[in-house]
Structure 1
Amino acid sequence: MKRIKLVENMRAKLDEVFSKYLLFVGNGVEREYKKCYIKIPSEMIIPYKVMKTSLRQLINHIYGKLNDYANNLDAMTTRAILTTKNEFVDGINQLFIEEFVGDMVKYYSFDQIIDNNEHSVTEEILNSLVFNGIPPHELILKKNCLIMLLRNINPAEGLCNGTRLICRHFERNVIDAEIINGDYKGKRVFLARIPFVPNEGDKCPVQFKRTQFPIRLCFAMTINKAQGQTLDYVRIYLPEPVFSYGQLYVPLSRAKCAASVKMSIKPSNCNKYCDRTKNIVYKDLLKHVDEDD
């Protein structure tokens, strides 16, 4: 068995300066201004203001007039806002769907307690519960809006966790959608509600089952969900620093050149600068890999 080391970012190979910067960020050798904090090039920065203002700036930078893209699907599907947590993703997607052209369609989940002896939890409480990988009780959609699949439904036909789609038509119990990425791009599929149960690690106060369409909006998505994707335009929203290994490198490296990346960083007590953020890299781990080679 031969070990092969990846040393070049193929997406950004036509922008040598950006490619080198990505390599430095990924290897943890970009200059640190304090422990783990690095400076982002000024041309990538959109100065952070209050939350809603900063989000609207990001939306305007990536889409301009959002409704112009409702019928320009190729352009719309090659851009995204990336952030760290689902709570930030949900807030951004809510702004998007409110401004997106078209009539709203709402789908509600069917939530039920698994333990029939548990009577203290009301349906309203179940509806309010939110967990990673489980769709919300209320799904708000519009024709041509972007969605992402949350489960492996049929990998052999391109329906995998993380597949991006566009809503084409709505029925009471079926959503007609079109795959927009991967080998099955352009394929029309029909999605139905399926059951979801929280994982043990979710620390759910009560065992319950939610039956809902296995999707969520994805004008914005978490950094982790963006792994492996190539985008023409990337906007990175960091109201909090990244919290895991490689989580800064991933969004920066989704684009092909520096001009395609913009970032908004919220200053904090730990970091008062809007152009510096945390870069978490396990240098000792990389060192051992290099020594093994």
Structure 2
Amino acid sequence: MASRFLLEIIDRKLKEIMKNESIFGGKILILSGDFRQCLPIKEFATRSEITDLTIKKSNLWNSFLKLKLTENMRADKNEKEFAKNLIEIGDGKEESEYITIHNYAILSPFNTIVDKYNEEIIKKFPGEQYDFLSIDETEQNSALQITPEILNSLNCANFPKHKLTLKINSVIMLLRNLNLSEGLCNGTRLQVTNIGKNVLNCKIISGDKFGEQTLIPRITLIEEKKFPFILKRHQFPVQLAFSFTINKSQSQTFEKIGIDFTQESFAHGQTYVALSRAKSWNKIKIKLNENENKIKI
């Protein structure tokens, strides 16, 4: 997009050429463009400075008759959804370029494999990284003297890890029921939209409350059965969920899935559940060990 200064130069030059002090020397000037496209460029400029460069900030702008074109002539006429999505993106209604990330998942029977995928994906995921460390302690009346380092290393199912790494737009899953009426239950998937020290702003991306905004606070979680003592962990009750276990995927449907079967399913129905998360075979990719060509049913 040309800057307002170019428009104002055209105005001055036409006045000089036509020897007429009317706007644009009395000539009719037709402009066309799309404010959804790239703005004028100015090195090291702030947002407000770039906005000030647009022709809308020129005193000449109010002299134009504005006409709006409504049909995208470049897009295929049969691709109405594509044209609609382009307009929504241009208008800022699509909240991020990761808007459809909830439609994809990597599944595995085992938490250890899931954790590896999530660690690799969050490393490659764009954006600033935020690391949150939990505060771990035992019951005050516990006779066991356990160092913080040992407490930090302890993990179990449906319990947040000591270290949680997040980025804006990353996908997470709730590990506790927080508010069932608001759709915040164990297994709910969310997309992080803003990150605070003690609160996460998120968009729900699964279940009946899909698309709604919510807040996830840090809370103190208690594990009483897994260890010979009561463990208290103050942390966000979530885990990364680019990848998650087959059991956690139940009741959900995805556009595309990858299934890691390098370790066989260990419980009844897991293979069936994993394969039935997508709508067709061409939406499923399966990873096996190099010497295998079949999956265990």
Give the TM-score normalised by the residue count of structure 1: 0.66
Query: Runs of 4 or more off by more than 6 Å in structure 1?
Result: none
Quick check: 1:259 aligned with 2:277? no
Whole-Å Cα distance in 2 between the matches of residues 177 and 130 of structure 1?
25
Match of 2:162 in 1: 137
Aligned 8 A contact 1:229 1:254 in 2 = yes
Asked whether the equivalents of residues 115 and 207 of structure 1 are also in contact (C-alpha less than 8 Å), the reply is: no
Matches within 5 A, 1:1-293: 71-200=96-225, 202=226, 204-266=227-289, 272-273=291-292, 275-279=293-297
Displacement after TM superposition at 1:71 (Å): 3.3
Deviation readout 1:249-280 (Å, 9 max, x if unpaired): 0010000010000100125xxxx42x21222x
Please state how far the C-alpha of 1:194 moved relative to its aligned partner.
Answer: 1.7
Q: 1:229 is aligned with what amino acid?
A: Q
Structure-2 separation of matches of 1:175 and 1:118: 36
Q: CA deviation at 1:172?
A: 1.2
What is the rounded CA distance, in whole Å, between the counterparts of 1:139 and 1:117 in structure 2? 27
Higher relative contact order (CA 8 A, sep 6+): 1
Say how many residue pairs are matched.
Answer: 203
CA RMSD of superposed structures (Å): 1.5
Structure 1 residue 206 displacement after superposition: 3.1
Query: Structure 2: any 5+ residue segments left out of the alignment?
Result: 1-94
Q: Report the equivalent of 1:47.
A: none
Between the aligned residues of both structures, percent identity stands at 39
Q: How much does 1:80 deviate?
A: 0.2
Cα separation, 2, equivalents of 1:175 and 1:108: 15
Deviation at 1:168, TM superposition (A): 0.8
The residue type equivalent to 2:296 in the other structure is K
> CA 1:199–1:231 in 2, change beyond 3 Å: closer, same or farther?
farther
**In 2, distance between residues paired with 1:74 and 1:102?**
15
How far apart, in 1, do the equivalents of 2:100 and 2:267 lie? 31
Q: Give the direction of change, closer, same or farther, for the CA distance of 1:199–1:117 in structure 2 (3 Å limit).
A: closer
Q: SS at the partner of 2:159?
A: coil
The alignment's TM-score, normalised by the length of structure 2, stands at 0.66
